[in-house]
Chains A and B, each alone.
Chain A
């Protein structure tokens, strides 16, 4: 009797009904299908040969999957004026440099805002949150003027520098650092560690999930950054910009465009899969205290 009772409680909580559970699975499946519909469409489009892309009535799934689109994309890539690997290098360089810089600078700022006391720290943080709400369209023109005055047009720094100051990264890092115990930092100070020593040796290893999250969000935004407004030299353009040009090619490039959409979509999704656990762990502390 005891064993059966224990098994029963372990299987399902007393206030959970079987009907409720089945209902939950049904709802999640339906809505999940709705969510994933366009993505599945994008995936199946990328593998359709040209004749199936224009079939009427239109079909959702692919009948004869083939790698034609990817092969055509490869041929197209080889015939661009700038070698295609240059675009890939540009995007990778910007993403890596921007992400590294952002993690370092935002973590340092978050550590100082959270663990030190100085006048104006709460004001600074409130301003950071409020500027999240200002529309990006209008700040594009002053941004351009500032870039011109700083002679940053047509350089990599034009994309990297604004990305180093992403407010969302600072916010998440600061909230996560609140979970680092003060006693650890004080004992390190007693042992004579300097500020930077404490930061790199004690605080950063403890907030590892948070900087993985920052890496993901930063990578997502930098990967999708076309840099179109600041970069005009062809050698410095990013992969996203080049791929967007392919998609804009219209009806002649529908097949290649689908392959391109698939590639551009899959990189952020794959990085999310790899680091999902860490992101969830960081978000446990993302909250606005009253």
Chain B
């Protein structure tokens, strides 16, 4: 990209470059080797691309099983959903095209969507960074142990997220009647006289949900961090010690974190995706809908309209908005992570 910007002629062709073509098609090579005008250059470029497509038929053949399955079962449903977001679709009758009505209703008429958005942002902003930092800190702390202890601690910390639906146990622990463990414990110590309705009182619901989400958040990102810490070049630490790094906190910020930047990005993507998609936890713990919509996330709102009221078009619009929010947040976080270690 640097070479491209140095030549004023190449500035106009930047919109053609990007993620669409692999780097082997250096456009500046084309500009330099031919002295034709721009239209001829473009035709030559496209014909070369077609020739390369025909030449690498073997690659396409090997890629095709995955590509076909991916397209049919992952990409096509997404495209159909985005199409449905512009229609009114109640699953029983064919979809009727309605333009941007769903989106206009979503932002101007719907009273619950702002509440759902607020709840989701609270959960995402609290449990996302906290879960991410927790994964990072615990991976770092675990890295300081010996291998056997490390294996055991990794298992203990990762077990919540692979145990499937074990989070419903939290519903028992925080149960609202006097049989719940929290209530029983607090009543025995005489902190409270009556059981607290953890899961149905709007004041406490969000706290419980956030605790459970953080409990479950040490997932694939955590494993990536543990692995990343193990592969840092040890000689960097010695060089740092010679250069005057005094304690482990400086070592962390200046040496360790920049060395694992790829894992930081991967963990961020996983963490953001999981934090914005919280829905099963709130339904299993607080019900759908929760009291006064206090634990109603955007995906719950989507489930409400999609599965309860059968307005699939509206639900698809909500999903598309959430998708856009997630992509935007990912780009923002990746920009932030560039500053690690400076």
Please report A residues at the B interface, Cβ cutoff 8 Å.
Answer: 13-16, 20-21, 24, 27-28, 31-32, 34-36, 38-39, 41-42, 54, 56-58, 60, 105-106, 108-109, 111-113, 116-124, 126-139, 141-143, 145-146, 150, 161-162, 164-165, 167-168, 170, 195, 199, 217, 220, 223-224, 261, 264-265, 268-269, 272-273, 276-277, 279-284, 286-290
Contacts and interface: CB of A to CB of B under 8 A. Distances in A.
A133 B226 CA distance: 24
A276 B178 contact: no
Given A165-B69, A286-B224, A116 B59 contact: yes
A288 B75 CA distance: 21
Interface string B230-273: 11000001000100011110010000000011111110010001
Contacts of B76: 142, 146
B138 A31 contact: yes
B18 to A, nearest CB: 9
A26 to B, nearest CB: 11
B299 A135 contact: yes
B243 to A, nearest CB: 12
Interface stretch (B108-116, B122-130, B160-168): B160-168
Interface stretch (B4-12, B34-42, B77-85): B77-85
B54 to A, nearest CB: 10
A40 B88 CA distance: 48
Nearest to A289: B262
B43 interface: no
Interface string B214-237: 010010100110111011000001
Given A15-B251, A42-B169, A265 B74 contact: no
B224 A283 contact: yes
Interface residues of B, number: 107
Interface of B: 19-22, 24-25, 49, 52-53, 56, 58-60, 62-63, 65-67, 69-70, 72-78, 80-81, 84, 91, 138, 141-142, 144-145, 151, 153-160, 162-167, 169-170, 172-173, 178-181, 184, 187-188, 215, 218, 220, 223-224, 226-228, 230-231, 237, 241, 245-248, 251, 260-266, 269, 273, 277, 279, 299, 302-303, 306-307, 312, 315-316, 318-319, 322-323, 326-327, 330, 334, 338
B69 to A, nearest CB: 4
Contact of B184 (A56, A130, A137): A56
B158 A272 contact: yes
Contacts of B153: 28, 32
Contacts of A282: 227
Contacts of B77: 139, 142-143, 146
Contacts of A168: 220
B73 A162 contact: yes
Contact of A137 (B63, B220, B302): B302
Given A41-B169, A130-B327, A137 B319 contact: yes
Contacts of B263: 283, 286-287
Contact of B155 (A60, A130, A272): A272
A165 B66 contact: yes
Contacts of B159: 35-36, 39, 269, 272
A141 B188 CA distance: 49
A109 B85 CA distance: 32
Contacts of A287: 224, 228, 260-266
Contact of B218 (A28, A35, A131): A35
B155 A126 contact: no
A122 B22 contact: yes
A139 B265 contact: no
B63 A14 contact: no
A240 to B, nearest CB: 8
15 contacts: A28-B138, A41-B169, A58-B179, A108-B62, A116-B56, A119-B56, A134-B78, A134-B323, A135-B323, A162-B69, A269-B163, A279-B223, A286-B262, A286-B263, A287-B228
